[in-house]
Structure 1
Amino acid sequence: MKAPLPLRIAYLDGRRFQRLLLGGISRLVGERGYLDRINVFPVPDGDTGTNLALTFTAVGERLTATSTRHAGELLTAAADAALDGARGNSGAIFAQYLQGLSESLAGHERVRPEELALALATAENFARSAIQNPAEGTVLTVMRDIAAAVAPGQLPENSDFPTLLTALLQRAREAVATTRRTLASMRDAGVEDAGARGLLVLLEGMADALQPGLAPAVSAVEDGDPSARSAADLGHTGPLEHRYCTECLITAPKVDRDALRSELAGIGSSVVVVGSASKARLHVHVNDPVAAFRIARRYGKVSAEKADDMERQERSLKADGRRVAIVADSGADLPPAIWDKFGIQMVPLRVNFGSESHLDKVGMTAAGFWTELNRNPEHPKTSQPPPGDFRRAYELLSSHFEHVVAVSLTSRLSGTYQAAQSAASRMSKPDQLTVVDSKGVSVGHGLVMLCAAENAQAGKSPAEVVAAAEQSAACTRTYGAVPDLRYAVRGGRIPQPWRWLARRLPLGFLLGIDAKGGIKIRGILRRGGDLVSALIRLATQDRLLKSGSTPLRLAIAHANAPEGAEALRLACVAAFPNLESILVSDLGPAYSVHAGPGTLALSVQEYQPPA
């Protein structure tokens, strides 16, 4: 019996486009790990697969909730979702590609093959024009070549969609293969351009959804093959020209994308500005994210700010024998050198002055916070990172490591732990992540994070790293001396019965974090009193030592009070004879909002080095 002939498909309506796109998205998400591992251009930060997966997951969620049969309406919904959900350089380029498709086909209830072929050329022009310095040998080359392969006169007359997609796939495979030898970064690493490969995977998934068997799935490299991690190691040997991958959304009645793109080119590289007349997403690599956000605010209302530390990200993805990656929210206060040394990924909290939102420690440094506090009449507020920020960090790290351990700010004082848990539950592989409640704040949180990072660097198993972090949380105590309660009153972070007293008397508080991660008032300070002696007295009375010889690791944070921090450090050296080390850090902006200037924090940890 002969096999049935394939169906002739002469048009795509909204339902058919939906099925094709969802099939492509499913295939693309499945290749996330491989695309991450071959990502070496424009920088080897190993995140193209994660960025494309998150971008198109947002598209898929919007399409699943859309029931229109109108092809143009469906593509408009897809393009809008891509713009809102775009992540990274690759996500922004694909968002603009979809924008070009949607604008070309906006009025089409049904789309014929020749109409889609013409729209692909428009989409390629949209994507290319969004980039300040477009490079050949990338996804742009593949977009151009597949449009040329189906241009008028290239296909037989009256071709249907299987014929069109077969031609697209053939040319896409040829074009992707050429990316191995066009740019030096891909030649040296021996890999294809990750974005170009992503487009091919998307097309293959769409073709197979249209006609099963037209493009069967073939995994280029088995997920988890350690040899595939070498691309990030081969990609770069010196410091990056620009450290932060910076993004945000801008909305205004009219956004001048060309002017914005030109202005951003003056401060950074890899500039991509995409969107519509009233909404734009910018992507730029800079050394100062604050400067990029400042420029963006001149063009409209800014939201969805993100700034990834690519240098730290690249270091964290090096194949150094670690099985476990560590991530923490910015509530962990330790010197930046510690985060860099251990390649710990940071998810920033938000610090908000009125309608302006800043990324804690990234979009706003400690010094920048005090400057803004003195300048801005609005008292700042704080908020937890959105779950999407956690999810991106988790997905990226899980594509490179056996397991991810997220060390969170205490669950008793913030919704950050719940946001981290929510993101973990939505991961593609949730069993690859464990969220540990540090039961601490500031430097206490930081010391628990450091313990986890040390054990991960020592090559410990996921279970051993989690156990070490949880044990260190139980053996860490944190104390704070807040000399001026007016900031805590404004932020609403002190108990109601104390607010009346705080407003009327020149008092400060001695605070302690209990074993469950809750905050306790441990004493009252007269404003201008001796904070150092009070903290030393509190810490020496409370520390839980197994014996007098137990090594102690201490950490100090200060709110714009370096002299006070140094005095506290010297007092600790005298008070604790069995010191292993003392770390000194700025108190992060997210805590300084409520603590105010002059605050000192001290954390004491019974130190257990990795065996």
Structure 2
Amino acid sequence: MAVKIITDSTSDIPPEMAKNMGITVIPLTVSFGNEHFLDNVTLKPDEFYRRLSLSGIYPHTTQPSPAVFKENYEKLMPQADGILVINISSKLSGTYQSALSAVTMLENISCPIEIIDSQTVSLALGLLAIKANDLAKSGKTLGEIKEAITQSLPDAQPVMFFDTLTYLHKGGRIGRAQSMIGSLLSVKPLLTVRDGVVTPLTRVRSLQAGMDQLYNFAAQHSTLEYVGIGYATSTTDALKLKERLAPLFPPEKIYLTQVGPVVGTYTGPNTLCINIIGKS
């Protein structure tokens, strides 16, 4: 048996990829009015962005209940030496708290369970889960994996190009980027997550300039361990960025995933994001 890895759907690891890797992804819920969907399970990204563009209803999101985590713990424990759970920043969602609460609900704990607040979101979170899974497959113990991932938290960073801050503002997750509201008439913001909170980096006037910034962010790192690109609606832009990153990191090792409905609720369409685990 080996250590099993659990993350949540804000990691933007697609279901098929998660299945192939053996990572358990617990979905959050996205709702349009009284219609409720499991993130990237009963509502896929393309349909979500279509609804987001056409519907007059602004979606809202809900964290998984402790009972959902408990059910997954009970399913995995018989086949695991340990379980490591890596969740979205606790400053952006209550998912981490649900994961913690679920442990106290278990009657019989047959293997140790450790839970990490990633202090990040989207594919930066996903890369942490992928790294943990790689370590588990290499035979590392739960303690060794937890230590390695904890040490990697400061190195796991997303940088996101936003076409607009409207969705982030409406969703109440704007954090330190609040200072940009009102000054973004013809410019596009680039944001990151620091200390678990959405934080502004800079602003640009075009997508091309934004892609330059995403590339420069990766290029400033002396070591790149994992790289991923997240996109909302434009595969073309994501592939262009992947090709451009080729001198820095092997393209075949760059993960390319679509930003899911829950994260997309706050980013909106036309978002492009680079995610890394690396050192400057």
* Structure with the bigger percentage of strand: 2
Question: How far apart are residue 434 of structure 1 and its match?
Answer: 0.6
Correspondent of 1:498 among 180, 183, 186: 180
CA separation of 1:571/1:529 partners in 2, compared to 1, >3 Å: closer, same or farther? closer
Aligned residues of 1:551 and 1:579 also touching (Cα < 8 A): no
Aligned residues of 1:335 and 1:584 also touching (Cα < 8 A): no
Q: How does 1:293-304 map to 2 (within 5 A)?
A: none
Question: How far apart are residue 351 of structure 1 and its match?
Answer: 0.6
Question: How far apart are residue 499 of structure 1 and its match?
Answer: 3.1
TM-score by length of 2: 0.90
Aligned length: 276
Aligned residues of 1:482 and 1:600 also touching (Cα < 8 A): yes
Match of 1:531 in 2: 210
CA deviations on 1:130-186 (whole Å, 9 max, x unpaired) are xxxxxxxxxxxxxxxxxxxxxxxxxxxxxxxxxxxxxxxxxxxxxxxxxxxxxxxxx
The answer to whether 1:343 aligns with 2:22 is yes
Aligned residues of 1:390 and 1:420 also touching (Cα < 8 A): yes
Equivalent residue letter for 1:421: L
Match of 1:372 in 2: 51
Aligned partners of 1:456 and 1:367: how far apart in 2? 32
Question: How far apart are residue 529 of structure 1 and its match?
Answer: 5.2
Match of 2:4 in 1: 325
CA deviations on 1:501-540 (whole Å, 9 max, x unpaired) are 34xx2332111222x3332100113255532112112333
Question: How far apart are residue 330 of structure 1 and its match?
Answer: 0.5
SS in 1 for 2:10: coil
Question: How far apart are residue 478 of structure 1 and its match?
Answer: 1.6
CA deviations on 1:237-270 (whole Å, 9 max, x unpaired) are xxxxxxxxxxxxxxxxxxxxxxxxxxxxxxxxxx
CA deviations on 1:394-450 (whole Å, 9 max, x unpaired) are 121113322111111122322111111111222224562111122221110001000
The answer to whether 1:561 aligns with 2:234 is yes
Aligned residues of 1:551 and 1:578 also touching (Cα < 8 A): no
SS in 2 for 1:535: helix
Aligned partners of 1:501 and 1:355: how far apart in 2? 34
Match of 2:265 in 1: 593
Question: How far apart are residue 558 of structure 1 and its match?
Answer: 0.1
The answer to whether 1:466 aligns with 2:138 is no
CA separation of 1:474/1:421 partners in 2, compared to 1, >3 Å: closer, same or farther? same
Instruction: Give me the CA root mean square deviation.
Output: 2.2
Q: How does 1:393-432 map to 2 (within 5 A)?
A: 393-429=72-108, 432=112
SS in 1 for 2:80: coil
SS in 1 for 2:253: strand
Aligned partners of 1:528 and 1:402: how far apart in 2? 46
The answer to whether 1:358 aligns with 2:37 is yes
SS in 1 for 2:13: coil
SS in 1 for 2:263: helix
SS in 2 for 1:362: coil
CA separation of 1:529/1:581 partners in 2, compared to 1, >3 Å: closer, same or farther? closer
Question: How far apart are residue 378 of structure 1 and its match?
Answer: 0.2
Question: How far apart are residue 561 of structure 1 and its match?
Answer: 1.1
Instruction: Name stretches of at least 5 consecutive residues in structure 2 with no aligned partner.
Output: none
Correspondent of 1:584 among 256, 259, 273: 256
Q: How does 1:8-407 map to 2 (within 5 A)?
A: 322-407=1-86
Question: How far apart are residue 355 of structure 1 and its match?
Answer: 1.4
Match of 1:482 in 2: 162
CA separation of 1:401/1:578 partners in 2, compared to 1, >3 Å: closer, same or farther? closer
Aligned residues of 1:485 and 1:507 also touching (Cα < 8 A): no
Aligned partners of 2:183 and 2:278: how far apart in 1? 36
Aligned partners of 2:11 and 2:187: how far apart in 1? 27
Aligned partners of 1:577 and 1:354: how far apart in 2? 43
CA separation of 1:429/1:507 partners in 2, compared to 1, >3 Å: closer, same or farther? farther
CA deviations on 1:268-303 (whole Å, 9 max, x unpaired) are xxxxxxxxxxxxxxxxxxxxxxxxxxxxxxxxxxxx
SS in 2 for 1:530: helix
SS in 2 for 1:584: strand
SS in 1 for 2:114: strand
Question: How far apart are residue 577 of structure 1 and its match?
Answer: 5.3
CA separation of 1:355/1:462 partners in 2, compared to 1, >3 Å: closer, same or farther? same
Aligned partners of 1:534 and 1:446: how far apart in 2? 22
- The structure whose Rg is larger is 1
Equivalent residue letter for 1:434: E
* Structure with the bigger percentage of helix: 1
Equivalent residue letter for 1:466: K
Using the aligned pairs only, state the percent identity.
29
CA deviations on 1:281-337 (whole Å, 9 max, x unpaired) are xxxxxxxxxxxxxxxxxxxxxxxxxxxxxxxxxxxxxxxxx3211111111123444
CA separation of 1:454/1:552 partners in 2, compared to 1, >3 Å: closer, same or farther? closer
CA deviations on 1:10-54 (whole Å, 9 max, x unpaired) are xxxxxxxxxxxxxxxxxxxxxxxxxxxxxxxxxxxxxxxxxxxxx
